Chain A
Amino acid sequence: MEKPLTFYWFVIIFGVALILSMTVIKFHDHPYDIRDVEGLLLKNKIADCIAPSGRLNSKVLNKTKTGFNQTFFDNFLKECNLNLSADDRESYNWDEEIQYYFEVVFRDMNEKEIYKFEKGNAGIKGLCLDNEKKFALLPGCFKSFFYTISKDKENRYFIDILTSVRKTEKNAKLK
Protein backbone atom coordinates (compact mmCIF):
# COMPACT_ATOMS: atom_id res chain seq x y z
CA MET A 1 0.00 0.00 0.00
CA GLU A 2 2.86 2.36 0.86
CA LYS A 3 4.72 1.92 -2.45
CA PRO A 4 1.89 3.22 -4.69
CA LEU A 5 1.48 6.18 -2.31
CA THR A 6 5.20 6.93 -2.49
CA PHE A 7 5.00 6.96 -6.29
CA TYR A 8 2.09 9.45 -6.24
CA TRP A 9 3.94 11.53 -3.68
CA PHE A 10 6.85 11.95 -6.06
CA VAL A 11 4.51 12.71 -8.96
CA ILE A 12 2.99 15.52 -6.88
CA ILE A 13 6.31 16.91 -5.72
CA PHE A 14 7.72 16.92 -9.24
CA GLY A 15 4.54 18.62 -10.47
CA VAL A 16 4.87 21.34 -7.82
CA ALA A 17 8.55 21.80 -8.65
CA LEU A 18 7.73 22.10 -12.34
CA ILE A 19 5.04 24.73 -11.75
CA LEU A 20 7.33 26.73 -9.46
CA SER A 21 10.13 26.62 -12.01
CA MET A 22 7.86 27.76 -14.84
CA THR A 23 6.54 30.61 -12.70
CA VAL A 24 10.06 31.80 -11.87
CA ILE A 25 11.16 31.56 -15.51
CA LYS A 26 8.09 33.45 -16.69
CA PHE A 27 8.61 36.23 -14.16
CA HIS A 28 12.33 36.72 -14.69
CA ASP A 29 12.29 36.28 -18.45
CA HIS A 30 11.14 39.84 -19.01
CA PRO A 31 13.34 42.90 -18.63
CA TYR A 32 12.30 45.48 -16.09
CA ASP A 33 10.05 48.04 -17.74
CA ILE A 34 10.85 51.51 -16.43
CA ARG A 35 9.42 53.56 -19.29
CA ASP A 36 6.50 54.83 -17.25
CA VAL A 37 8.87 56.11 -14.57
CA GLU A 38 11.09 57.69 -17.22
CA GLY A 39 8.05 59.39 -18.74
CA LEU A 40 7.07 60.70 -15.34
CA LEU A 41 10.56 62.01 -14.60
CA LEU A 42 10.74 63.68 -18.01
CA LYS A 43 7.38 65.33 -17.35
CA ASN A 44 8.62 66.59 -13.98
CA LYS A 45 11.79 68.00 -15.50
CA ILE A 46 9.85 69.81 -18.23
CA ALA A 47 7.35 71.16 -15.71
CA ASP A 48 10.15 72.34 -13.40
CA CYS A 49 11.75 74.16 -16.32
CA ILE A 50 8.57 75.86 -17.53
CA ALA A 51 7.28 76.67 -14.07
CA PRO A 52 9.97 76.38 -11.38
CA SER A 53 8.37 76.30 -7.94
CA GLY A 54 4.99 76.60 -9.64
CA ARG A 55 5.57 80.10 -11.08
CA LEU A 56 5.92 80.63 -14.81
CA ASN A 57 9.53 80.87 -15.93
CA SER A 58 10.26 84.47 -16.94
CA LYS A 59 11.96 83.22 -20.11
CA VAL A 60 8.72 81.65 -21.42
CA LEU A 61 7.19 84.99 -22.41
CA ASN A 62 8.75 87.58 -24.69
CA LYS A 63 10.06 90.89 -23.35
CA THR A 64 6.73 92.66 -23.77
CA LYS A 65 4.91 89.70 -22.21
CA THR A 66 2.35 89.78 -24.99
CA GLY A 67 3.37 86.45 -26.45
CA PHE A 68 5.69 83.51 -26.09
CA ASN A 69 9.46 83.65 -26.42
CA GLN A 70 10.18 81.55 -29.50
CA THR A 71 13.93 81.57 -28.83
CA PHE A 72 13.38 79.90 -25.47
CA PHE A 73 11.34 77.11 -27.03
CA ASP A 74 13.74 76.67 -29.93
CA ASN A 75 16.53 76.12 -27.40
CA PHE A 76 14.29 74.36 -24.91
CA LEU A 77 16.44 71.26 -24.55
CA LYS A 78 19.55 73.32 -23.85
CA GLU A 79 17.70 75.65 -21.48
CA CYS A 80 16.34 72.71 -19.49
CA ASN A 81 19.45 70.48 -19.64
CA LEU A 82 17.74 67.73 -21.60
CA ASN A 83 19.26 65.33 -24.09
CA LEU A 84 16.85 63.14 -26.04
CA SER A 85 19.55 61.20 -27.86
CA ALA A 86 19.39 57.75 -26.21
CA ASP A 87 22.45 56.52 -28.02
CA ASP A 88 22.66 52.76 -27.74
CA ARG A 89 24.06 52.31 -31.21
CA GLU A 90 25.84 49.00 -30.45
CA SER A 91 22.63 47.08 -30.00
CA TYR A 92 19.98 49.09 -31.76
CA ASN A 93 19.72 51.97 -34.19
CA TRP A 94 18.74 54.38 -31.47
CA ASP A 95 21.24 56.95 -32.75
CA GLU A 96 19.05 57.19 -35.85
CA GLU A 97 15.68 56.97 -34.13
CA ILE A 98 15.08 59.22 -31.12
CA GLN A 99 13.47 57.31 -28.28
CA TYR A 100 11.75 60.21 -26.53
CA TYR A 101 8.96 62.61 -27.38
CA PHE A 102 7.18 65.33 -25.50
CA GLU A 103 4.53 67.90 -26.27
CA VAL A 104 3.64 70.97 -24.24
CA VAL A 105 0.38 72.85 -24.78
CA PHE A 106 -0.44 76.19 -23.20
CA ARG A 107 -4.13 76.97 -22.70
CA ASP A 108 -5.82 80.12 -21.50
CA MET A 109 -8.39 80.27 -18.72
CA ASN A 110 -11.09 79.21 -21.21
CA GLU A 111 -8.97 76.13 -21.96
CA LYS A 112 -8.39 77.33 -25.49
CA GLU A 113 -5.05 76.30 -26.95
CA ILE A 114 -2.83 79.33 -27.45
CA TYR A 115 0.64 77.83 -27.86
CA LYS A 116 2.07 74.39 -28.50
CA PHE A 117 5.52 72.99 -29.04
CA GLU A 118 7.00 69.51 -29.26
CA LYS A 119 10.42 67.86 -29.31
CA GLY A 120 11.72 64.42 -30.14
CA ASN A 121 10.31 61.63 -32.28
CA ALA A 122 6.73 62.57 -33.20
CA GLY A 123 6.13 59.01 -34.44
CA ILE A 124 6.03 57.80 -30.84
CA LYS A 125 3.06 60.01 -30.02
CA GLY A 126 0.78 58.07 -32.31
CA LEU A 127 1.69 54.84 -30.53
CA CYS A 128 0.36 56.23 -27.27
CA LEU A 129 -3.12 56.10 -28.74
CA ASP A 130 -2.71 52.77 -30.52
CA ASN A 131 -5.04 50.33 -28.77
CA GLU A 132 -4.30 47.50 -31.15
CA LYS A 133 -0.67 47.03 -30.30
CA LYS A 134 0.30 44.67 -27.54
CA PHE A 135 0.79 46.62 -24.33
CA ALA A 136 4.47 45.82 -23.95
CA LEU A 137 5.18 47.20 -27.40
CA LEU A 138 3.62 50.52 -26.56
CA PRO A 139 5.88 53.30 -25.38
CA GLY A 140 5.61 54.60 -21.83
CA CYS A 141 3.22 57.54 -22.18
CA PHE A 142 2.49 59.99 -19.43
CA LYS A 143 0.07 62.88 -19.59
CA SER A 144 -0.56 65.54 -17.00
CA PHE A 145 -1.70 69.11 -16.71
CA PHE A 146 -1.22 71.87 -14.20
CA TYR A 147 -1.96 75.52 -13.67
CA THR A 148 0.69 78.21 -13.49
CA ILE A 149 0.83 81.95 -13.06
CA SER A 150 3.56 84.47 -13.78
CA LYS A 151 5.33 86.31 -10.99
CA ASP A 152 3.45 89.53 -11.68
CA LYS A 153 0.21 87.51 -11.72
CA GLU A 154 -0.83 88.93 -15.07
CA ASN A 155 -0.39 85.78 -17.13
CA ARG A 156 -2.18 82.57 -16.23
CA TYR A 157 -2.11 79.32 -18.12
CA PHE A 158 -3.16 75.72 -18.01
CA ILE A 159 -0.28 73.59 -19.25
CA ASP A 160 -0.68 70.10 -20.70
CA ILE A 161 2.40 67.93 -20.93
CA LEU A 162 2.54 64.65 -22.82
CA THR A 163 5.76 62.62 -22.56
CA SER A 164 6.53 59.39 -24.30
CA VAL A 165 9.46 57.01 -23.94
CA ARG A 166 9.93 54.24 -26.47
CA LYS A 167 13.09 52.14 -25.67
CA THR A 168 11.01 49.03 -26.33
CA GLU A 169 13.97 46.70 -26.94
CA LYS A 170 15.33 47.30 -23.44
CA ASN A 171 12.06 47.29 -21.54
CA ALA A 172 9.86 44.66 -23.13
CA LYS A 173 10.33 41.14 -24.33
CA LEU A 174 9.94 41.08 -28.10
CA LYS A 175 8.96 37.87 -29.85
Chain B
Amino acid sequence: MKKRKKAGFLTENVIFLVLNLIVITILLLFIYSRTGGIILYEETYAKNIALLIDSAKPGTEFYLNMENALEEAEDNAWDVKKTVKINNKRNMVTVQLSEDSGYSYSFFNDLKVVSRFDNRKEPLGGQKGFIFAITNEVNEEGLS
Protein backbone atom coordinates (compact mmCIF):
# COMPACT_ATOMS: atom_id res chain seq x y z
CA MET B 1 0.00 0.00 0.00
CA LYS B 2 2.81 2.38 0.92
CA LYS B 3 4.74 1.38 -2.20
CA ARG B 4 1.71 2.18 -4.37
CA LYS B 5 1.37 5.56 -2.70
CA LYS B 6 5.06 6.32 -3.27
CA ALA B 7 4.88 5.23 -6.91
CA GLY B 8 1.78 7.36 -7.43
CA PHE B 9 3.44 10.34 -5.80
CA LEU B 10 6.51 10.00 -8.01
CA THR B 11 4.46 9.59 -11.19
CA GLU B 12 2.36 12.63 -10.44
CA ASN B 13 5.40 14.80 -9.84
CA VAL B 14 7.18 13.57 -12.97
CA ILE B 15 4.12 14.32 -15.06
CA PHE B 16 3.85 17.73 -13.40
CA LEU B 17 7.48 18.57 -14.19
CA VAL B 18 7.23 17.29 -17.76
CA LEU B 19 4.13 19.41 -18.43
CA ASN B 20 5.87 22.47 -17.00
CA LEU B 21 8.88 21.87 -19.22
CA ILE B 22 6.67 21.45 -22.27
CA VAL B 23 4.88 24.74 -21.61
CA ILE B 24 8.13 26.62 -20.99
CA THR B 25 9.76 25.08 -24.08
CA ILE B 26 6.83 26.06 -26.30
CA LEU B 27 6.94 29.57 -24.90
CA LEU B 28 10.67 29.94 -25.47
CA LEU B 29 10.43 28.57 -29.02
CA PHE B 30 7.64 31.01 -29.80
CA ILE B 31 9.58 33.97 -28.42
CA TYR B 32 12.71 32.90 -30.31
CA SER B 33 10.76 32.58 -33.57
CA ARG B 34 9.30 36.08 -33.22
CA THR B 35 12.50 37.81 -32.18
CA GLY B 36 14.68 36.25 -34.84
CA GLY B 37 13.79 35.21 -38.34
CA ILE B 38 14.40 36.27 -41.88
CA ILE B 39 11.79 39.02 -42.13
CA LEU B 40 13.10 40.83 -39.10
CA TYR B 41 16.73 40.60 -40.22
CA GLU B 42 15.93 41.81 -43.73
CA GLU B 43 14.06 44.87 -42.52
CA THR B 44 16.61 45.69 -39.82
CA TYR B 45 19.65 45.44 -42.05
CA ALA B 46 18.07 47.19 -45.04
CA LYS B 47 17.13 50.19 -42.91
CA ASN B 48 20.45 50.13 -41.09
CA ILE B 49 22.39 50.16 -44.37
CA ALA B 50 20.20 52.93 -45.81
CA LEU B 51 20.85 55.11 -42.76
CA LEU B 52 24.58 54.45 -42.91
CA ILE B 53 24.66 55.41 -46.59
CA ASP B 54 22.67 58.58 -45.91
CA SER B 55 25.05 59.62 -43.15
CA ALA B 56 28.22 58.90 -45.12
CA LYS B 57 30.34 61.47 -46.92
CA PRO B 58 32.16 60.88 -50.22
CA GLY B 59 35.10 58.55 -49.83
CA THR B 60 33.70 56.80 -46.77
CA GLU B 61 34.07 53.06 -46.50
CA PHE B 62 32.45 51.04 -43.74
CA TYR B 63 32.10 47.41 -42.74
CA LEU B 64 28.83 46.01 -41.41
CA ASN B 65 28.82 42.79 -39.43
CA MET B 66 25.94 40.67 -40.74
CA GLU B 67 26.91 37.30 -39.34
CA ASN B 68 23.50 36.30 -37.96
CA ALA B 69 21.69 37.34 -41.13
CA LEU B 70 24.20 35.57 -43.38
CA GLU B 71 23.81 32.40 -41.34
CA GLU B 72 20.08 32.57 -42.00
CA ALA B 73 20.81 32.96 -45.71
CA GLU B 74 23.09 29.93 -45.67
CA ASP B 75 20.42 27.91 -43.84
CA ASN B 76 18.03 28.82 -46.66
CA ALA B 77 20.56 27.79 -49.34
CA TRP B 78 20.85 31.39 -50.53
CA ASP B 79 24.14 32.69 -51.90
CA VAL B 80 25.54 35.08 -49.28
CA LYS B 81 27.07 37.28 -51.99
CA LYS B 82 23.56 38.02 -53.26
CA THR B 83 22.31 38.99 -49.81
CA VAL B 84 22.80 42.73 -50.20
CA LYS B 85 22.14 44.59 -53.44
CA ILE B 86 22.54 48.29 -54.03
CA ASN B 87 20.56 49.78 -56.89
CA ASN B 88 22.27 53.10 -57.57
CA LYS B 89 19.82 54.09 -60.30
CA ARG B 90 16.89 53.93 -57.92
CA ASN B 91 18.87 54.71 -54.75
CA MET B 92 17.67 51.57 -53.06
CA VAL B 93 19.20 48.87 -50.90
CA THR B 94 17.73 45.36 -50.89
CA VAL B 95 18.49 42.68 -48.32
CA GLN B 96 17.44 39.19 -49.35
CA LEU B 97 18.05 36.13 -47.22
CA SER B 98 16.06 33.56 -49.18
CA GLU B 99 14.62 33.07 -52.64
CA ASP B 100 11.10 34.10 -51.66
CA SER B 101 11.83 37.06 -49.45
CA GLY B 102 13.51 40.43 -49.54
CA TYR B 103 13.18 43.93 -48.14
CA SER B 104 14.07 47.16 -49.87
CA TYR B 105 14.56 50.64 -48.51
CA SER B 106 15.55 53.80 -50.31
CA PHE B 107 18.19 56.36 -49.36
CA PHE B 108 18.59 60.02 -50.38
CA ASN B 109 22.39 60.13 -50.74
CA ASP B 110 22.88 60.43 -54.49
CA LEU B 111 26.49 59.27 -54.56
CA LYS B 112 27.31 55.90 -56.09
CA VAL B 113 27.58 53.13 -53.49
CA VAL B 114 29.57 49.96 -54.03
CA SER B 115 29.13 46.92 -51.82
CA ARG B 116 30.96 43.63 -51.59
CA PHE B 117 30.82 40.58 -49.39
CA ASP B 118 33.76 40.37 -47.06
CA ASN B 119 35.05 36.89 -47.82
CA ARG B 120 38.59 37.08 -46.57
CA LYS B 121 39.78 34.28 -44.32
CA GLU B 122 40.10 36.74 -41.47
CA PRO B 123 37.48 39.40 -42.04
CA LEU B 124 37.40 42.59 -40.06
CA GLY B 125 36.20 41.83 -36.59
CA GLY B 126 36.56 38.12 -37.25
CA GLN B 127 32.97 37.78 -38.52
CA LYS B 128 31.20 37.78 -41.87
CA GLY B 129 29.80 40.96 -43.29
CA PHE B 130 29.66 43.45 -46.11
CA ILE B 131 31.87 46.37 -46.97
CA PHE B 132 30.25 49.49 -48.39
CA ALA B 133 32.14 52.24 -50.18
CA ILE B 134 30.64 55.67 -50.90
CA THR B 135 32.34 56.94 -54.04
CA ASN B 136 32.70 60.49 -55.29
CA GLU B 137 30.60 59.71 -58.36
CA VAL B 138 27.03 60.89 -58.61
CA ASN B 139 24.41 58.39 -59.71
CA GLU B 140 23.36 58.61 -63.35
CA GLU B 141 19.60 58.82 -62.86
CA GLY B 142 17.40 60.28 -60.20
CA LEU B 143 18.70 63.82 -60.20
CA SER B 144 15.73 66.00 -59.48
A77 is contacted by which of B43, B50, B90, B143 (Cβ under 8 Å)?
B143
B20 is contacted by which of A13, A34, A78, A85 (Cβ under 8 Å)?
A13
- Contact yes or no, B110 A83, CB < 8 A: yes
- Contact yes or no, A28 B91, CB < 8 A: no
Inter-chain contacts of A6 with B (CB < 8 A): 16
A83 is contacted by which of B47, B50, B139 (Cβ under 8 Å)?
B139
Chain B residues within 8 Å of chain A by Cβ, number = 35
B7 within 8 A of A: no
- Contact yes or no, A78 B109, CB < 8 A: no
In B4-61, which residues have CB < 8 Å from any A CB?
12, 16, 19-20, 23, 26-27, 30-31, 34-35, 40, 43-44, 47, 50-51, 54-55, 58
Which of the four size classes fits the interface of chain A? 35 or more
In A32-74, which residues have CB < 8 Å from any B CB?
32, 34, 37-38, 41-42, 44-45
- 7 nearest A-B pairs in the assembled complex, by CB-CB distance: A86-B106, A83-B110, A83-B142, A41-B54, A81-B110, A87-B90, A17-B27
